[in-house]
Structure 1
Amino acid sequence: MNDLDLNRFSRKYSFVAKLGAAVLYSVMVAVALNFFWHPGHIYSSGITGFAQIINTVTSRYMPFTIPTEVMYFALNVPLFILAWVKIGKEFTGYTIFTVFMSSVMMKFIQPTHISLDPILCAIFGAAVNGMGTGLALKNGISTGGLDILGIVVRKKTGMNYGKFNIIVNMVIVIFAGFLFDWSRALYTALNIFINGRMIDAIYTQHHKLQVMIVTEHPTAIIDGIQSKMHRGITILHDAEGAYGHVEKTVLLTIIDTYDLYDIRMTVQDCDPYAFMSVTEVQRIYGRFREQEIV
């Protein structure tokens, strides 16, 4: 297989993976909404939660009812424009497809009969939706709504996606308390927290790690890392081991969580006796190569 064929295969695989993730998310959010959140009178996070609030308000206080799936799509339209301008056309195209499929699935995936404890509704609804959202983000697509704002905020400030979700969605908790009761507000808060934790557990690309390597064979390790990951590396010369008093070199680099396995294998192959330390990074300032969103 030549480079052109490999590039075509990669693009085709990425396209299929993204469409599959979009469909899977749309099914999972529909299950979370119709099987758990609606029966338990619990609100979701983000645009889905606001759509639920509008559905509740119109059904109670208006002569008409706006379905959640219709409001969900309508509220996303301004964010499609934001994504088109700020993030990219291809990214926006996948987002529109994902939101459209989610609206369709919300309409047609309905339980015949379900009655669960509200705490179970909060836990299982959050787990199902968080898993679907995390898988979608992991495959490079957005599920619409606050995902778009979350990506922009993460790129600007470094705040991870789950924490952003929790902060923004406190207003939904307040609405849940006023529209139902404050026990439902508590369940909604639990739902939002679990949803954010589940997303963070699956979508780990935004987690950055600092790797320090102490080695006697720096050139081989540097070549191996840069050929696979294209990461910048800082080289500290003239280090000395306290035990053997052997001259060593210290290498420092910042990687995505996804890169950790590759860098471990590279170091192990080049220098089995190298010392390697990994710590989580909270903030990065200066030049760092993020994965591009197109």
Structure 2
Amino acid sequence: MWRKEKKENNTLMMENPNSIKLQKRFDDKYEGFFKYVGQNWKKILIIIFCSIFYSFGQVHFMIKAGSVLDGVEAISVSMTYILTVLKPYLTILYLALNIPLIIFYWRKVKRHFIITTLIFLFFNALFGFIFGIQPVEEFISEKVIVIMKDGWMPEDPNGDPGTTKYVAAGWPVFIYVILAVACCSPAAAVVWKLGSSTGGTDLIAYYISYKYKKPVGSFLMLTGTLMATMGILFLYLSKKFMPINISQNINGFNNILGCQTFGTYLYILLNGFVINSIYPKYQKVRIKIDTRNLEEITNFFKSINFWHPYKIVKSISGYNNNTIYSIESIVLLLESDDIAKKIKDYVPDAWISVAPISRIYGRFNYSRID
């Protein structure tokens, strides 16, 4: 009997290619680097494109704000503030700091997550280095400057006033933080949605989020805040106690509760909010399908080995007295769009509605996105 059901199931999938695509969408597995890249080249191109915006937001907005980034980036940014010779290599330094985390989580999370994260980190380092090349950096700084120099402080207090570069001071810090969020956060959210990350504490947040089934943006805010606070304290103490030739390199942080500190926490808060909004990984919805063709819907579910429980309710239409079948299931928001579109392809006259679920109690199958 099992063989018969399996044969019928395979027949249904052959009859409907869309069901095969849907199953592939949720059963994506790593099968070797080059094979994975070949099968997912569109996704990888989008990740590379996002790395351009992310590195630009880092190099030309967050650094101009003089604030600290969140997570492991707080370490790399703090180092470039103290050792200015490292500034052009900010994103390369960030890549290097990620290597121990990549090694540690190599066997703890899905392999394709690590591979795509490495791809992001490599191109983020490449584009960040390009944006940091002096002629490129000067060109962009001249074109993308939104605050007059009266509201700025010099990057090098001892430099030639005619050629000194400037970074934000006072309230302009928040302008540049918001610009950094506008570049980095949507790019990071799209990368997360594609099953990857921007590295650093994202790897920790992903592991914790996977383990406890909670929104990843919340853990990004937690881990980001802890690391950023360490970076701020380090810069403040460096400003106070290190030799003058080093402390002068650090813009801001004269007051531990100054604009650079508040700008850092503003970035973390907005970044987590944007990622949770665009990438609500564990948000659940109720999907309801009303149809007269019950058998076609159940056949579709069999063809994709539907992984969530569902119930069927028989009713009479008050409009035309026809028999209507309602199929309801609780699914993840990230799954619902694919499921609904493929059902419409399979049964065009089906009526589908999706409603949010605030909370559930009981077991739930997360296997298709974890």
Q: TM-score range by the shorter chain?
A: 0.7 to 0.9
Residue 165 of structure 1 contacts residue 196 of structure 1 at CA under 8 Å; is this kept in 2?
A: yes
Match of 1:156 in 2: 211
Pick from 17, 24, 32 the counterpart of residue 57 of structure 2.
32
CA-CA distance at 1:205 after TM superposition = 4.3
Tell me, in whole angstroms, the C-alpha distance in 1 between the residues paired with 2:56 and 2:305. Answer: 38
What secondary structure does 2:182 align onto? helix
Q: Within 5 Å, give how 1:28-67 maps onto structure 2.
A: 28-56=53-81, 58-59=82-83, 67=89
Q: Within 5 Å, give how 1:187-198 maps onto structure 2.
A: 187-198=263-274
Sort the Cα spacing of 1:280 and 1:44 in 2 relative to 1 into closer, same or farther, 3 A: farther
What secondary structure does 1:209 align onto? strand
CA-CA distance at 1:139 after TM superposition = 2.1
Residue 291 of structure 2 contacts residue 324 of structure 2 at CA under 8 Å; is this kept in 1?
A: yes
Q: Within 5 Å, give how 1:196-275 maps onto structure 2.
A: 196-212=272-288, 218-227=294-303, 230-235=306-311, 251-264=327-340, 266=343
Pick from 120, 140, 145 the counterpart of residue 98 of structure 1.
120
Sort the Cα spacing of 1:277 and 1:34 in 2 relative to 1 into closer, same or farther, 3 A: closer
Aligned-pair identity (%): 16
CA-CA distance at 1:213 after TM superposition = 5.1
Residue 215 of structure 1 contacts residue 271 of structure 1 at CA under 8 Å; is this kept in 2?
A: no
Residue 235 of structure 1 contacts residue 249 of structure 1 at CA under 8 Å; is this kept in 2?
A: no
- Which amino acid is the alignment partner of residue 167 of structure 1? L
Q: Deviations over 1:213-272 (max 9, x none)?
A: 566654443333454582323325577999999987664322232443455453798596
Sort the Cα spacing of 1:12 and 1:144 in 2 relative to 1 into closer, same or farther, 3 A: closer
Pick from 176, 184, 187 the counterpart of residue 232 of structure 2.
176
Match of 1:165 in 2: 220
CA-CA distance at 1:187 after TM superposition = 1.4
Let me know the Cα RMSD of the aligned residues.
3.7
Residue 287 of structure 2 contacts residue 352 of structure 2 at CA under 8 Å; is this kept in 1?
A: no
What secondary structure does 1:141 align onto? coil
- Which amino acid is the alignment partner of residue 108 of structure 1? I
- Which amino acid is the alignment partner of residue 27 of structure 1? I
Match of 2:130 in 1: 108
Tell me, in whole angstroms, the C-alpha distance in 1 between the residues paired with 2:360 and 2:200. Answer: 25
Residue 211 of structure 1 contacts residue 277 of structure 1 at CA under 8 Å; is this kept in 2?
A: yes
What secondary structure does 2:330 align onto? strand
Match of 1:81 in 2: 103
Residue 55 of structure 2 contacts residue 91 of structure 2 at CA under 8 Å; is this kept in 1?
A: no
Pick from 188, 199, 203 the counterpart of residue 133 of structure 1.
188
- Which amino acid is the alignment partner of residue 65 of structure 2? G
- Which amino acid is the alignment partner of residue 86 of structure 1? K
- Which amino acid is the alignment partner of residue 162 of structure 1? G
CA-CA distance at 1:285 after TM superposition = 4.5
Unaligned runs of 5+ in 2: 1-13, 25-34, 148-171, 237-252
Aligned residues: 284
CA-CA distance at 1:80 after TM superposition = 0.8
Moved more, 195-204 or 173-182: 173-182
Q: Deviations over 1:133-173 (max 9, x none)?
A: 11222222222112222222222111111111112222245
Moved more, 237-246 or 128-137: 237-246
- Which amino acid is the alignment partner of residue 22 of structure 1? I
Sort the Cα spacing of 1:260 and 1:226 in 2 relative to 1 into closer, same or farther, 3 A: farther
Unaligned runs of 5+ in 1: none
CA-CA distance at 1:288 after TM superposition = 0.6
